[in-house]
Amino acid sequence: MAGQDPHRAAVIFPHTRDRRGRVSYTHMTYRQLDEESDRLARGLIDLGVGAGVRAVLMVPPSLEFFALVFALFKARAVMVCVDPGIGIHFLGRCLGEARPTAFLGVGKAHLARRLFGWGKKTLRTRILVGRGAATWRGMISLDELRRRGERSHATLPTDTAADATAAVLFTSGSTGPPKGAVYTHGHFGAQVRALQATYGIEPGEVDLATFPLFGLFAPALGMTAVVPEMDFTRPGHVDPQKIIEPVENFGVTNLFGSPALLRRVAEWAAPRGVRLPSLRRVVSAGAPVPAEVLKQFSKLLSDGAPIFTPYGATESLPVASIDSHEILAETAALTAEGRGVCVGRPVGDIELRFIKITDDPIEQWSDTLPVEAGEIGEIVVRGPMVTREYFGRPEATRQAKIPDPRGGFFHRMGDVGYQDTRGRVWFCGRKSHRVGCADGDRFTIPTEAVLNRHPKVFRTALVSVVRGGVVEPVLCVELDKSVRRRERATIRRELKELAAEYSHTQGITAFLFHPGFPVDIRHNAKIGREKLARWAERRLR
């Protein structure tokens, strides 16, 4: 892109606002991003942060963030990314597992590093991004890194090997301890090709980067990445106007947002008649997107502009995809009946199977593993976007990967679902969240969809509680904010009547009202069912 369209903006970042609230922006063109990342890459190599060196990056979305990511790739270092929202305990644990030798971060990140001793035994290079580097002993400022790069005669590697490690990206930890998925340059290349082919993204488009890591695909796809003003750890609490403003300012054509962000923007914008005609597509992931959110947000778009809801995980993305037209016209009604959430058809070269559900490791692939057509099973995938291992976690790798004696391996997604006669994948929830009752397994998504139909229910969560040595399915219920406490008895009775109408919800008699479900930090959409289960157990004692 730097050669083909050097003057096109690669990244645009909000800089300041004047007294009237007008925003001014700073930016880098593709040529500037290419040259800046070259300088920083040479500076990194000069400091010994070169091929294979693991370097933690803790810098919020900014021009520097984009330049440093591509500098690390160019230096052939291994970028280590951990979502700070996972909590201090898990963050320290992840960094301990990664054993980094370099740490690039803003002042707050370095303060936390010092306070909690992150990387104390392994770190040799500490780079401070931001002001005040001169007052930090043992630190190298970004300006100094840049100057080193300008003076350096280091030759940047040009022969990226597909199997060379590019990054260690830690999972969100929403369903267990975070694990570092090892990404190669080949994985990233396959993702870029799959996203381009699946969504028809063209060079010259403009992307609103509401999720930092996904925003990195924008320059790789030839788009301009516009960074909005928001707290990226709380997408469900964005100021809708600060999402709409850059869309209108730059004619944004592509928006990636969590379901919580879409809901927040749609609830504010739709009643006000706001339209965003420049958007060609919206992509939303991180958790199933409720049909009502798709319907609301679609009101902001031009006729025909789709909202895509890809399915995947940190270890493999994308796996499957579907758009809002098919969901609203057909699959949403089936979801409401408890059929699961349709996540579309497998994309690109992804091979997807459904196998018998087990919590045990599977040492070798066998053709006896798949379930019968239409039966709910554990989802496994393989393909060029699927990561091979977790960093430093051989047992977790053994648990999640199934070697195929004929070559390659399958990755266990940790989800359950089935495939219909038209080749579409239906997601029925996390395997670890199923409730193993005496009369068979109950799955979260089909169960909750039925009860979510109640007009005064915001969302529900099926959890497992053991009472008297017997596993009992319990439904936690978060009501709409407008519902008064005195209405709960009536709602509980109506939910029991609704549950009795379907075979897979019959037998659920415990309904507990919760003030507000815990959700993941990354997308503000995945429900913290483990926490809810502990809460429910205490309530039912």
- Between CA 402 and CA 416 the distance in angstroms is 16
Considering only residues 68 and 158, tell me which one the structure prediction assigns the higher pLDDT: 68
Contact 403, 363 (CB under 8 A): yes
Mean pLDDT (whole number) for 315-333 = 96
| Helix residue ranges per DSSP H, 172-290 | 185-199, 212-215, 217-220, 240-250, 259-269
- Topology (CATH level 3) of domain 9-159: Rossmann fold (3.40.50)
CATH 3.40.50.980 fits 206-309, yes or no: yes
Residue 522: per-residue pLDDT = 62
DSSP 8-state symbol, 227: P
State residue 524's pLDDT score: 62
Q: What is the mean pLDDT of residues 483-507?
A: 94
Q: Is the pLDDT of residue 403 over 80?
A: yes
Torsion of the alpha carbons at 389, 390, 395 and 397, rounded to the nearest 10: -30
Q: What percent of the chain has pLDDT over 90?
A: 85
Token code pair at residue 267: 């609830």
pLDDT, residue 521, reads 67
β-strand 435-437 against 440-442: which pairing, if any? antiparallel
For 430, list phi and psi in degrees, rounded to 5.
-75, 140
Answer whether residue 138 shows pLDDT above 90. no
Check pLDDT > 60 for residue 134: no
Residues of the chain with CATH 3.30.300.30: 441-539
pTM score of the predicted model: 0.92
**The pLDDT value given to residue 250:** 97
Residue 209 has pLDDT above 90, yes or no: yes
- Split at pLDDT 50, 70, 90, the class of 132 is low
Q: 441-539 domain in CATH 3.10.20.520?
A: no
pLDDT of residue 497: 95
The pLDDT, as a whole number, for residue 106 is 94
Model confidence at 217: pLDDT above 90: yes
Average pLDDT across the chain, whole number: 93
Lowest average pLDDT, out of 212-216, 290-294, 316-320, 372-376, goes to: 212-216
With bands split at pLDDT 50, 70 and 90, how would you rate the model's confidence at 437?
Answer: confident
Residue 512: Cβ-neighbour burial (10 angstroms; 0-12, 13-18, 19+) = middle
DSSP per residue, 59-125: --SSHHHHHHHHHHHHTT-EEEE--GGG-HHHHHHHHHHH--SEEEE-HHHHHHHHHHTTTTTT--E
Low-confidence winner among 123-132, 218-227, 264-273 (lowest mean pLDDT): 123-132
pLDDT at 133 over 60: no
Residue ranges, comma separated, of all CATH 3.40.50.980 domains in the chain are: 9-159, 206-309
